[in-house]
């Protein structure tokens, strides 16, 4: 079987989803999970974009050893120098150089003619060769580019030293038959194509990201760029889990394999969702909560008799855990350590101790603690680490005949602050108090609440989306008290906002 290399861009393109910014520690945590997942290449960021992106790429390149690490760079020396400075400590690091090739991009964005773009591309690849022989070249907006120019530029950059050529559907415009034909034409007309791997990067604007990627594979592509949960710009990217499981499930038609450890798919999905604050829709293929649920009586009857009647893959094959109980408040550290390891988390001894103490507090409040509760607990205590602002305590007063109020104590930049506010309800009063104490001008765009498990003692998880000065971030918080969860979510969003203020992208892609 032909091997398809998986190039994961969750940390770069995925992070460009509105509100999905990650700090350095979060990027490293996701990178470690991608390493366990078995991806071949991790695109860790765009080093020239900001100091934060540079530092994150540098840390991931230094710490991860099971995958190639790459960073994005425009076709100029400054970008390439900065990218290599971040990547140089990596294991066989890759420079990913791109330039737009479509008439609309060349004319309006680059304001250059094709000859100038060709010259820039060749010069950039030759310059990158000073650092490494592992170079990928991307023709941005390839699916709206003229085929003759694509053939010309790919031939030239391969001759200059590019070892991977990427043919991205940057705006999600193409359809499978058309895209497959484009890949086939590139294979047939680029004379030195045998010296490079063909890669594809499909966006999902028309819902065809995975289908287009498969069409490309059938016509000669041997690397696919995708993201966990399909996150990314606008409607997102081709979904890693959909692509991998399509290839695995339909071996009868698709004789390809990947290096992905499929049992790590669900843990990766869950971690990315927790870190970014972007919830997975219930009916999402492979990793949605309803992906293996059966409501119809006919379906339930069939599955009870034989699972394959309505399940083309098993939940175990993608790492979906059985909803087993944890032994509540009497569970010890050893059992807790085993449980979080089984759920796919890799924590330090210090982090395990923090999570264990929080688990004990939760177990005192809940009769049964489920896997989903552990996920939320680790996310709240470890992943959503407070930075400049931390909740100390919260007290609310509300009822049908009283004016809702909230009294809250925060620690802001090491300073303890106390305040109170009235509101239309306890959540409104709480958020008003937080905003007054922190002095934020942020605006609440969305507020969502859900129960993580069943029962009146269930953990409630709140997700908020806030905006300030053009920056949009998401925040999450979980607690058995939904008002406390709301406060934690807003504070988590403010911490992300503060991080993003100091790491604004200097350039856009």
Structure tokens at 218: 């059938």
Q: What share of the chain is helix, strand, coil (3-state, %, to 5)?
A: 45, 20, 35
Structure tokens at 294: 């059966």
Q: How far from chain centre, in Å, is Cα 93?
A: 21
> How would you classify the pairing of strands 164-169 and 135-140?
parallel
The Cα 45–Cα 234 span in angstroms is 18
At a CB cut-off of 8 Å and minimum separation 6, what does 255 contact? 1, 2
Q: Tell the residue number behind the tokens 């509760």, with chain if given.
A: 373
CATH 3.20.20.70 placement within the chain: 2-276
> How would you classify the pairing of strands 415-422 and 405-412?
antiparallel
The Cα 150–Cα 163 span in angstroms is 16
- pLDDT-based confidence at residue 330 (cuts at 50, 70, 90): low
What SS3 class is residue 147?
A: helix
pLDDT of 502 strictly over 80? no
The Cα 81–Cα 77 span in angstroms is 6
What does the pLDDT read at residue 277? 82
Lowest mean pLDDT among 61-70, 118-127, 300-309, 340-349: 300-309
Nearest to 344 by CA among 43, 12, 14, 35: 35
- pLDDT-based confidence at residue 76 (cuts at 50, 70, 90): very high
- pLDDT-based confidence at residue 149 (cuts at 50, 70, 90): very high
What does the pLDDT read at residue 509? 45
| Average pLDDT, integer, range 65-70 | 96
| C-alpha separations of 139 from 116, 143, 146, 214, 381 in Å | 14, 9, 11, 19, 42
Structure tokens at 304: 């009870």
Whether pTM > 0.75 for this model: the answer is yes
Q: Classify burial at 159, counting beta carbons within 10 Å of its beta carbon; exposed 0-12, middle 13-18, buried 19 or more.
A: middle
What does the pLDDT read at residue 508? 45
The Cα 460–Cα 45 span in angstroms is 33
CATH 3.30.160.270 placement within the chain: 389-501
| C-alpha separations of 4 from 97, 307, 445 in Å | 21, 29, 40
What SS3 class is residue 502?
A: coil
- pLDDT-based confidence at residue 177 (cuts at 50, 70, 90): very high
- pLDDT-based confidence at residue 187 (cuts at 50, 70, 90): very high
What SS3 class is residue 99?
A: strand
Please compute, for residue 284, the number of CA atoms within 13 A of its CA located in the half-sphere on the CB side.
21
Whether the CB-CB separation of 34 and 244 falls below 8 Å is answered with: no
What does the pLDDT read at residue 332? 77
pLDDT of 154 strictly over 50? yes
At a CB cut-off of 8 Å and minimum separation 6, what does 415 contact? none
Other CB atoms within 10 A of residue 123 CB? 14
Strand partners, 474: 465
The Cα 423–Cα 47 span in angstroms is 44
pLDDT of 32 strictly over 90? yes
pLDDT of 427 strictly over 90? yes
Nearest to 30 by CA among 51, 45, 19: 45
What digits encode the pLDDT tens for the residues 156-167?
999 999 999 999
Running DSSP on this structure, what letter comes out for residue 106? I
What does the pLDDT read at residue 306? 76
- pLDDT-based confidence at residue 16 (cuts at 50, 70, 90): confident
Topology annotation, domain 389-501: Double Stranded RNA Binding Domain (3.30.160)
What does the pLDDT read at residue 315? 87
Whether the CB-CB separation of 98 and 120 falls below 8 Å is answered with: no
Angle of helix 24-37 relative to helix 265-276, nearest 10 degrees? 170
The Cα 360–Cα 375 span in angstroms is 14
Q: What is the CA radius of gyration of the chain?
A: 24
CATH (one of 3.30.530.20, 3.20.20.70, 3.40.190.10, 3.40.50.10890) for 2-276: 3.20.20.70
What does the pLDDT read at residue 39? 98
């Amino acid at each position: 079987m032909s091997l398809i290399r998986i190039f994961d861009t969750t940390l770069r393109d995925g992070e460009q989803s509105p509100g999905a910014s990650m700090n350095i520690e979060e990027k490293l945590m996701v990178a470690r999970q991608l390493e366990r997942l078995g991806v071949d290449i991790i695109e860790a960021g765009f080093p020239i974009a900001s100091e934060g992106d540079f530092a994150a790429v540098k840390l991931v390149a230094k710490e991860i050893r099971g995958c190639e690490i790459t960073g994005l760079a425009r076709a100029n020396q400054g970008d390439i120098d900065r990218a290599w400075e971040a990547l140089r400590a990596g294991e066989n690091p890759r420079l990913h150089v791109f330039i737009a090739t479509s008439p609309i991009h060349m004319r309006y964005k680059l304001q250059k003619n094709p000859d100038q773009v060709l010259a820039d591309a060749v010069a950039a690849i030759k310059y990158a060769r000073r650092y490494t022989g592992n170079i990928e070249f991307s023709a941005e907006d390839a699916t709206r580019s003229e085929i003759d120019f694509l053939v010309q530029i790919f031939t030239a950059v391969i001759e200059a030293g590019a070892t991977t050529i990427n043919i991205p559907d940057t705006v999600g415009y193409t359809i499978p038959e058309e895209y497959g034909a484009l890949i086939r034409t590139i294979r047939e007309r680029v004379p030195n194509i045998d010296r490079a791997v063909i890669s594809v990067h499909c966006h999902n604007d028309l819902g065809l990201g995975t289908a287009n990627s498969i069409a490309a594979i059938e016509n000669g592509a041997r690397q696919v760029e995708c993201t966990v949960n399909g996150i990314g710009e606008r409607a997102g990217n081709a979904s890693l889990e959909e692509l991998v499981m399509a290839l695995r499930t339909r071996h009868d038609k698709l004789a390809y394999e990947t290096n992905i450890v499929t049992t790590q798919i669900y843990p990766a999905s869950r971690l990315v969702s927790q870190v970014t604050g972007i919830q997975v829709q219930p009916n999402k293929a492979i990793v949605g909560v309803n992906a293996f649920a059966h409501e119809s009586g006919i379906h339930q009857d069939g599955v009870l008799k034989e699972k394959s009647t309505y399940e083309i893959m098993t939940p175990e094959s993608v790492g979906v855990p059985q909803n087993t109980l944890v032994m509540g408040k009497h569970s010890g550290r050893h059992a807790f350590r085993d449980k979080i390891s089984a759920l796919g988390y890799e924590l330090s001894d210090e982090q395990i101790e923090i999570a264990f103490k929080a688990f004990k507090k939760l177990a005192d409040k809940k009769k049964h603690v489920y896997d989903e509760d552990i996920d939320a607990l680790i996310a709240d205590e470890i992943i959503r680490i407070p930075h400049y602002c931390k909740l100390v305590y919260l007290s609310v007063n509300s009822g049908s005949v009283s004016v809702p109020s909230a009294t809250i104590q925060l620690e802001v930049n090491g300073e303890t602050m106390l305040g109170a506010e009235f509101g239309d309800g306890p959540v409104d009063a709480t958020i008003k108090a937080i905003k007054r104490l922190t002095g934020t001008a942020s605006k609440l765009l969305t507020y969502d609440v859900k129960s993580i498990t069943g029962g009146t003692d269930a953990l409630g998880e709140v997700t908020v989306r806030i905006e300030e000065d053009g920056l949009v971030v998401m925040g999450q918080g979980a607690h058995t008290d939904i008002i406390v969860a709301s406060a934690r979510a807003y504070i988590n969003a403010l911490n992300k906002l503060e991080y993003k203020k100091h790491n604004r992208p200097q350039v856009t892609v």
